[in-house]
Structure 1
Amino acid sequence: MTYLVNGDPDLARIGERVVDIIASRTLYDTSYLRPDSDFEADLGIDSVIMESVLASVREHFGLAATGLRSGPATIGELVAAVGAAVAGASGAGADSASASVAGSASAAGGASAPAAESAPDPVLDAVVTAAMRQTQYQRHQLPSDADLESELGIDSVVVTSVVAEAAERLGLPGGTTPDEIRATTLRGLADALRRTTPSSGPSGDHRPAGPGAEAGTPPAAASRAADGWDDRSMKDFTEQRDPDLFAKTRSFAAYLRSRERERLYWYGMPLHSRCANRAVIFDELEGRKREFLMFASNNYLGLANHPAVVEAICDATRTYGATHTGSRFIGGTNMLHKELERRLAAFKRRPAAIVYPGGYSANLGAISALVKSYDTLVVDRLNHMSIVDGARLSGATRKIYRHNDMADLERVLSRSVKEATGGRLIVADGVFSMHGDVCDLPEIVRLAKAYDARVLIDDAHATGVLGARGSGTAEHFGLKGEVDLELGTMSKTLAGMGGFVVGEEEVVEYLRYYSNSYVFAANIPAGVAAGLIASLDVIEAEPERVKRLWTNIGTLRDRLLEAGFDLENSQSAILPIVIGDERRAMEMGRAVRARGLFCQTVVYPGVPLGDARLRVSVTCEHTPEDLDLAAEIFVDAARETGVLPPAG
C-alpha cells in the first residue's frame, strides 16, 4: 500500500492509519483523536504505551527501527513525522510533509475507515470500529471474513462488548441475540445486527444515534416465564451504558437480590471453621451457621490444616512480623522468599523460580512482560481468565484454538508464521479449572518445536495433583525440561497465597525487572512464605497424600458416571457435573446445599451461556463415607430438579 501521491506523502491516508493505530493501542474512539490532541496531557498516553504506538506505526509504514524516536507531542506531529519518513524513504523531501500537515491531519482526525476502498457499509464499519477498541487491533488486522476465535482471538466475552458498542453506534437496541452469538466473523456480526431491526432503506442504512438520542441503553428487559422466572443472566449487565457510571450497579443489585431470595446465588458465604472435608458456613440468607460436606475447596492434599504448615506460619510471623510493606525491589524481600523460590525450582526441577503476589498476577506479569504488540499469543479457548487478561494487557495478536484440538492448534500456528514476524507463545492450562480435563501437552510441545514457538503451561490445578510427585503436568507426561515456562498458584494445593513461574534463569531474571505485577506490588508476607516451604516439605515427605487423592477421585467419578452424569473428560480432582441450562444448574445447586453438601454452581461468566454446571472438587481428606454420601446427595438432587430421570 502506497502513501505517496505524485511523490508527496498522502497525509490524509497516513493520518487515518495513525489514528487507527492509536485507537487500537489506547481503546479511544477515533472521533476523540484530534490532530492537536497532546499524547500526555489530553490522552494520558505514557512512555510505555507511546513506545507501543510508535513500534506499531513503524511496522505498519515499513519504517526503520530507529525512526520516530524524537517523541512527537501531538497526533498531528506524529502524522507529520510519518509523512516525512515516508517521503524520505522514497527520496521526496520532508518539507512538503511538514508544510501541509495541519490541513491534511485535520482531515485525518476522527477518521475511521480507509479512503473509498469499497462501497461503505455503516453496519460493518461500526462492528469493525468497535472490534478495534475492544481488541486493540488495527483496522488492517481485522479482515471482515476472518474467524473470530481462531484467526482474530476474539472470544465470546469480547464479542458481547463488540456487539453492544456497535449497536450503540448504530442506535440499535441493546442486548445480544442468538444470531450474534452464533456469528463466527465480523461480517456475520454485522449481518446479525442488520436483522435485529428494520433497516431505514433498501441498503440497510442504519445511522448512529445523534446527540439527541436517548443515553444509556438498559439491559434487555426480563422475559418472564409462566412461573415468573427471570431468564436474564449476569451477561445482561456487562454492557449497560448510562451517563451515570453506577446505573449498571443498581440494575444488577435488583437482579442479585432476587436470585438470593430464591436461594440460587449463594456466593461468598463466610466460613466459621477450618475448610476440611467438612466446614461450618454462616448461611447469610437464613441467618444461621450450618455444617456442610465440603466439595468446593482446592485444598487437594489437605495441607491448609496440616500442623507443620500452621506452625511454620505462626513461628515466622512472630519472628518477622505481619508483613514487610514493600515490593521485592524495595524492602520487601525476606530470606524466606529466596528460600521459597529455591524450593519451588527444585520441586519443579527447573533452574529458577520467581514468586508473584498471586497466581492471577503471575499470568498478567509474565505474559505482558514477554509478549508485545508485534508478537502472537496462541491460547486454548477454555484458558483461565488470568491468561485472557494477560493477553489483553500485552497488546499482542491473540489467536484462539479450539479446546484441546491439536489439528486446530497447528492450523493457527501455521497461519501465524505466515502472517507475523514476531515471536509466538502458546499458553494453556495444565488442568482446565471448570472442566477438569488435561491439556494435550505432548502435542503442544511437538508443535511448538515445529513452528518455533515457546510454551507456558498454567499448573494452578495440576500442582500437587498430576505426576507421581505431584509436581504437575510436565511430570505427568514425562516432559520435564521440555516446557519453557511452568506457572502455578500457591493458594490451592500449596495452602498459601501467591503465584510463581519456573524456567530458565535468564528468563526468570528478565521477568523480575519487566513484570509490573512483581516490580510494583507488595510480596506475600514472610509467614506465608514459611507455610509454603512447609507445604513442600509435607508433599515430599508424604507421597501417600497424592495416592489417596487419586483413590478418592476414582471412587467419586465412578459413582457419578454410573448414575448417568456428564463429567466431560475430567482427568483431575475437578469433576464437572455438566447441566447446560443455567436455571436448572442453579436449582440443582440449591437442592444440593439443602441436603448439606456445598460445591460450586458455575454459570456465566465462569462458563459460556448454555454450559452451566456444578463444579465438584475432591481432596485427599474426604473419607469413603463422605464420598458415598456425596454421590447419594448429587443423585437425589438431580432427580428432584429433572437433571436425572426419576428412580425406577
Structure 2
Amino acid sequence: MTETGAEHSDLARLHEQVVEIVAERTLYDESYLLPDSHFEADLGIDSVILESILAAVKEHFGLRDRLSGQVTTLRELVAAVAAELEQGAAGAAWADGPDAILTALLSAAQRQTQYRPEQLGLDAHLERDLGIDSVILTSVVAEVAQSFGAPETVPGFGEATTLRELADRLSAAWSQHTPRTMAPRTVAPRPEPVQAAQAEASPAPDLPAPDGDAQRQPVPDAAADGWDGRSMKDFVEQRDPDIFAKARTFGTYLRGREADQLYWYGMPLHSRCENRAVIFDELAGRKREFLMFASNNYLGLANHPRVIEAVCDATRAYGATHTGSRFIGGTNMLHKELERRLAAFKQRPACIVYPGGYSANLGAISALVKSYDTLVVDKLNHMSIVDGAKLSGAGRRIYQHNDMADLERVLKRGADSPGGTLIVADGVFSMHGDICDLPGIVGLAKTYGARVMIDDAHATGVLGARGSGTTEHFNLKGEVDLELGTMSKALAGMGGFVVGDEEVVEYLRFYSNSYVFAANIPAGVAAGLIASIDVMEAEPERVKRLWTNIGALRERLLEAGFDLENSESAILPIRIGDERLAMEMGRAVRARGLYCQTVVFPGVPLGDARLRVSVTCEHTPEDLELAADIFLDAARETGVLRADR
C-alpha cells in the first residue's frame, strides 16, 4: 500500500525504511549499509540496481517525482526522500526526548561500527571501551541528525563519554530547534507510454545499400514529433500486477525501433561466418552478403578444415551429446584431454571446463567468494562478473576503470575486514577494447593480500605472441591466481574454463554449482577445441596477421577522426555517445553492406552508445579499406563526422 507523507513524521523511521528497501534489493545485511558508503565504489550498486532501488523507494513513499539517479550514498538518498516529503525536519520527531534519540544512536552506532546490539553498552566509554573515536562519533551524530531532521552541529557533543550522555546532550540542543512541518503529498498519475501508432508513424526507410535498393533519407531532428525518446533502461523497473505487462510495453517500443530500422539484432546467417557472410536481412526481407565485422572468430578457426573434421569425427564416435553433468555420466575422455591442453596452453597446473564462459564466472566467483568476503571489480567488467558477485552475496567494491589509485583506495578501506578479497577484471574490456592494468593490479594485490582473477574472454587468441592472453602480454605468467576464459570466441567452440593451482581447481569442481548441476559441452565440441589449440600452436602467423589487420583499420579510423577510446585489441569501439545518433549510424552502415554491432544500454551506460567493430585475421586489405570508407561515409551522412572530413 502506498504511504502518504503524513505517515512519515519520524525521520528515524524513514531512514530505517530506506535501509530496508536497499537491503531487500541488494541482499545485503542491514548492518552493512552504512550512511556514507558509496553506492558504487563501496557497495557495488551499479546503475541498473540503483534504478531498481529508486523505483522501489518512489513507490513505497508515494513520491510524485522520480528521485535523481545522482544520489551516491544512503545519506543522500534519505535526504532526497525527506526533501520530497517536505520533512527536512518533521514535526517534533524527538518529542519523546533522550529515549527516542538513544534508540536512534544505538542503531546508527551499529551501522558505523559493525557491532552487534549486545556489544554496545549504554554506559560504556565511547573511546576506551568501544573504540569510537571522534571521526566515527561525528558520523553517528550526523546520521541521527539526518534521521530527525535536526542540525548536525551540536556544541559540546564530542565531550560526551557514553551513548546515554550523548543522547541527553543532543536532546537538550535539539529541543531549541523548531522543525518545519510537512504537508502530505499526492501521487501524480503515471504518464501514458508512447502509443504504438505514434511510435510506428512515418518509419524511416533504409539508407542506401550498395546495390541501390533503398532511398536516401534525411536524418530526422532529435526533437521531431513522433520520436520515442525512451531507451531500454525505461523498461527495467516497470511495475504492474501482471508481470507480463512490461513485455507488452517493451514490444510496442521494439516494434517502433524496428520500423525505423534502428534495431536489427539477431539476424540469421545463411553461410559460414567468415570475412563476409550471407545474412537474411529481416528488415529488407531477403538474403544479403555483408562485410562481417561483428564476429569474435578472431583467428578464423571456426572454419578451419581440421577443426571441422575433428568435430565431425568425434560426434560420429561419441554421439551428439552425453546427456549428463560431469559428475553423473557426462565426462568424456575428450573433456579430460581438453582440460589438460588448456592448462598447458595457459601454462598453469590445472584447468576446469564449464558449459559456458558466463557460467564459468558465475560458478568460480560464487564458489570462492562468500558473504563475509569482498569482491573488488573494475567498473567496466562484463555482466557475468557482476552477476557472479550478486550470486556470491559478498560485499562488492567497484573501482574506477583501470584507475590504480582508486583500486588502492578500495583495498585500503577494506584492509581490516575479516574475510578474504578477490580482485576480478577483464583482460580485454569487451565494449571498449582496452586492456586492464595487470601489473598495477598484481602489485596492489600483493601489497594488500588479495587474490586476482582475470577474465581473458577477448584476450585468449589475441594478446601475447602465442595468443595465450593477458598474462603473456605483460610477461606475468604465474603471477595471477586464476585465469578465466570462454571458448566461443578465438577458440571457435563453446564453453568456458578456469586455470590455476590444482587444489583450487579441484575445489571448484565440487563447489561451482554451474559445473556440478549442469551438462557439459558435447564431445564433438571438445574435440574441435583441441584441434583449435593444435592449429594455433602450429600456425602462430594467424596472431600476427590479426594484429596487422587491427593496425590497418585502426589507423584509417583514427585518421578519419573517430573516437576509438583507448582500444588496444581486436575490438575497435567507434564511440558516438548519443543513443539515437549511434543507432542511425548503425542503420547507415548496415545499408551499405557492413555488419557490426550497435551497442546501447544495457551494453553500455546511457550517453555512451557506440558501434563495436571486431577485426579478424580473415579480413583482407580490400575488406579493411572498404570498411573504413563505409564508416566514414555513414558518419558524414548522419552527422557523426563533418561532411568535409
Give the TM-score of the pair, scaled to structure 1.
Answer: 0.78
Aligned partner of 1:45 in structure 2 is none
Deviation at 1:130, TM superposition (A): 2.1
Change (3 A) 1:501 1:181: same
Which residue of the partner structure matches residue 14 of structure 1?
none
Q: Is the 8 A contact 1:487 1:502 kept in 2?
A: yes
Q: For each residue in 1:30-77, what CA deviation from the matched residue of structure 2 results, as whole angstroms up to 9, or x when unmatched? A: xxxxxxxxxxxxxxxxxxxxxxxxxxxxxxxxxxxxxxxxxxxxxxxx
2:570 aligned with 1:599: no
- Please state whether the residue corresponding to 1:182 is helix, strand or coil: coil
Contact 1:122/1:207 (<8 A) preserved: no
Q: If you compute each CA radius of gyration, which structure gives the higher value, 1 or 2?
A: 2
1:283, distance to aligned residue in structure 2 (A): 1.2
Displacement of 1:293 in angstroms is: 0.3
Measured after TM superposition, the shift of residue 147 of structure 1 is: 1.4
How far apart are the structure 2 equivalents of 1:583 and 1:199? 40
Q: Aligned pair in 2 of structure 1 residues 467, 219: CA closer, same or farther (>3 Å)?
A: farther
Measure how far apart 1:188 and its partner are. Answer: 2.5
- CA deviation map 1:193-240 (0-9, x unaligned): 55668779886869899xxx99x9678769993332111000101111
The yes-or-no answer on 1:140 pairing with 2:137 is no
Query: Equivalent residue of 1:417, what SS?
Result: coil
Within a 5 Å distance, the mapping from 1:72-91 to structure 2 comes to: none
Q: CA deviation at 1:186?
A: 2.3
- The residue number in structure 1 matching 2:53 is 162
Distance (whole Å) between structure 1 residues aligned to residue 365 and residue 553 of structure 2: 36
Moved more, 495-504 or 131-140: 131-140
Q: How far 1:129 moved relative to its partner?
A: 2.2
Residues 360-402 of structure 1, C-alpha deviations (whole Å, 9 max, x = no match): 0000000000000000000000000000000000000000000
Equivalent in the alignment of 1:105: none
Cα distance, 1:185–1:315 mapped onto 2, change above 3 Å: same
The match for 2:267 is: 269
Is 1:611 the equivalent of 2:608? yes
Cα deviation 1:318-361 (Å, max 9, x = unaligned): 00000000000000000000000000000000000000000000
**Alpha-carbon distance change, 124 to 511 in structure 1, aligned in 2, over 3 angstroms:** same
Over residues 385-421 of structure 1, what are the superposed CA-to-partner deviations in whole Å (9 max), with x where a residue is unaligned?
0000000000000000000000000000011113x20
Tell me whether 1:237 sits opposite 2:128 in the alignment: no
- 2:345 aligned with 1:457: no
- Which whole-Å CA distance do the structure 1 matches of 2:278 and 2:181 have between them? 60
In 2, Cα distance between equivalents of 1:290 and 1:600: 17
Paired residue for 1:112?
none
User: Closer, same or farther in 2 for the Cα pair 1:173/1:236, shift >3 Å?
Assistant: farther
Question: Shift in Å at residue 286 of structure 1?
Answer: 1.9
User: Structure 1's 613 and 424: CA in aligned 2 closer, same or farther, altered over 3 A?
Assistant: same
Q: Is the aligned partner of 1:491 residue 2:451?
A: no
CA contact (8 A) 1:169 1:208 kept: no
Instruction: Kindly indicate whether the alpha-carbon contact (under 8 Å) linking 2:86 and 2:182 is maintained by their aligned counterparts in 1.
Output: no
Q: Is contact 1:299–1:493 with CA below 8 Å preserved after alignment?
A: yes
Whether contact under 8 Å (2:293, 2:613) holds in the other structure is yes
Q: 2:286 aligns with which of 288, 298, 313?
A: 288
1:625 equivalent in alignment to 2:622 = yes
Does the 8 Å CA contact 1:217/1:241 hold for their aligned counterparts? no
Give yes or no for the alignment of 1:533 onto 2:536. Answer: no
Aligned 1:311-322 pairs, distance under 5 A: 311-322=309-320
Contact 1:430 1:461 (C-alpha < 8 Å) held by counterparts: yes
Map 1:371-520 to 2 at 5 A.
371-418=369-416, 420-520=417-517
Cα distance in 1 between the residues matched to 2:29 and 2:430: 32
Within the candidate set 16, 22, 29, 1:131 is matched to: 22
- 1:255 aligns to 2:253 (yes or no): yes
Matched position secondary structure for 1:181: coil
Deviations 1:253-276 (A, max 9, x none): 000000000000111111111001
C-alpha separation in 2, matches of 1:576 and 1:204: 53
Gaps of 5+ in 1: 1-28, 30-115
Distance (whole Å) between structure 2 residues aligned to residue 515 and residue 272 of structure 1: 37
- Cα displacement (A) at 1:282: 0.6
Deviation string 1:411-438 (CA, Å, 9 cap, x unpaired) is 00011113x2000000000000000000
Q: 1:271–1:199: structure 2 CA closer, same or farther, 3 Å change rule?
A: farther
Q: Tell me if 1:571 matches 2:568.
A: yes
- Please say if residues 170 and 207 of structure 1, whose CA atoms lie closer than 8 Å, have aligned partners that are also in contact: no
Partners of 1:277 and 1:469 in 2: CA distance: 22
Asked whether the equivalents of residues 219 and 236 of structure 1 are also in contact (C-alpha less than 8 Å), the reply is no
Secondary structure of the residue aligned to 2:52 is: helix
Q: Which of the pair has the greater relative contact order for Cα pairs under 8 Å at 6+ separation?
A: 2
Distance 1:597 1:428, change over 3 A: same
The TM-score normalised by the length of structure 2 is 0.78
Aligned to 2:41: 150
Q: Distance in 2 between matches of 1:631 and 1:407?
A: 37
In the aligned structure 2, how far is the partner of 1:196 from the partner of 1:495? 54
Quick one: distance in 2 between partners of 1:172 and 1:284? 43
Counterpart for residue 183 of structure 1: 71
Tell me the alpha carbon deviations over residues 133-190 of structure 1, each in whole angstroms, 9 at most, x when there is no partner: 121112221122221111111111111111011111111258x56xx22222223234
CA distance in 1, matches of 2:397, 2:530: 37
For 2:636, the equivalent position in structure 1 comes to 639
Structure 2 partner of 1:33: none
Structure 1 counterpart of 2:332, one-letter code: N
- Relative to structure 1, is the Cα distance of residues 326 and 173 closer, same or farther in structure 2, using a 3 angstrom cutoff? farther
Deviations 1:520-543 (A, max 9, x none): 000000000000000000000000
In the other structure, the counterpart of 2:173 is none
For the 8 Å contact 2:86–2:183, the answer to whether it is kept is no
- Residue in 1 aligned with 2:63? 172
Identity among equivalent positions (%) equals: 75
Change (3 A) 1:583 1:191: farther
Number of the residue aligned with 2:204: none
1:121 shift after superposition? 4.9
1:50 corresponding residue in structure 2: none
* CA distance 1:464–1:196, change in 2 (3 Å): farther
Q: Please give the alpha-carbon distance, in whole angstroms, between the structure 1 residues aligned to 2:227 and 2:82.
A: 30
Report the Cα distance in structure 2 between the residues aligned to 1:500 and 1:469, rounded to whole angstroms: 18
CA distance in 1, matches of 2:396, 2:64: 30
Whole-angstrom CA distance in 2 between matches of 1:484 and 1:511: 13
Find the residue that maps to 1:550 and give its secondary structure: helix
| Structure 1 residues 429-468: Cα deviation after superposition (integer angstroms, max 9, x where no partner) | 0000000000000010010010000000000000000001
Any unmatched runs of 5+ in structure 2?
2-7, 91-178, 200-221
**CA RMSD of the aligned region, Å?**
2.5
The SS at the match of 1:480 is: coil
Going from structure 1 to structure 2, the CA distance change for 1:206 and 1:451 (only over 3 Å counts) comes to: farther
Distance 2:274 2:548 in 1: 17
* Cα distance change, pair 130–207 in 1 and its aligned pair in 2 (3 A): farther
Partners of 1:126 and 1:170 within 8 A in 2: no
1:561 and 1:196 map into 2 onto residues whose CA distance is 48
